[in-house]
Amino acid sequence: MTNEELTELIKDISLNVFHKPFAHAGIFNARLRTTGGRYLLRSHNIEINPSSYEKFGFKELEGIIKHELCHYHLHLEGRGYKHRDSDFRNLLRETGSPRFCSTIEARAKRKSAKRYVYACLSCNTNYVRKIRMNTERYRCGKCAGKLSAAQNQ
């Protein structure tokens, strides 16, 4: 699906569900990682995460568009368009729009965080850290023994 087809789909949903025109652009944005879509306040465009469409199909895409159109129409009307506003929640209910989209396992693509393991030379207590530390500067919390870097995980 292209951006032009997405814009046409958004216009159709806007007219059929909200009975109001959508006069801006719908854009696929692959840089969105943790959300299915977003409404841009300045340009009034709606951005959609293409992976949510690919992974969950048309029904999910339609739900995301309806959710973002709730933000769109309420913002243009000067009413409460934020998630916590009662106007927004009421419009979600009236239009059958979802409050949340399906989870997009975005963090799975990222590298797993490095882990650093340090061991006390006296009592053999292990310390697992996300950030490297200077073993000359720190001591064991149990026995105040000297620390050394163990194998990294």
The residue extents of the domains of the chain are 3-95, 116-149
Sheet with strand 126-129: strands edge to edge: 126-129, 116-120, 147-149
For 36-88, how does the pLDDT look when each residue is reduced to its tens digit (9 = 90+)? 899 999 999 999 999 888 888 899 999 999 999 999 999 999 999 999 999 99
pLDDT over 80 at 32, yes or no: yes
Active-site residue flag, 68: yes
- Give the integer Cα–Cα distance in Å for 142 and 148: 15
Amino acid 151: pLDDT: 66
Average of pLDDT values for 1-25? 94
What is the rounded average pLDDT for all residues in the chain? 89
Q: Is the confidence at residue 109, as pLDDT, over 80?
A: no
Residue from 68, 77, 94, 136 carrying the catalytic annotation: 68
Per-residue pLDDT tens digits for 127-139: 999 899 999 999 9
Q: In the CATH scheme, what architecture does the domain 3-95 have?
A: 2-Layer Sandwich (3.30)
Contact 123, 145 (CB under 8 A): yes
66 in Cβ contact with 97 (< 8 Å): yes
The whole-model pTM stands at 0.68
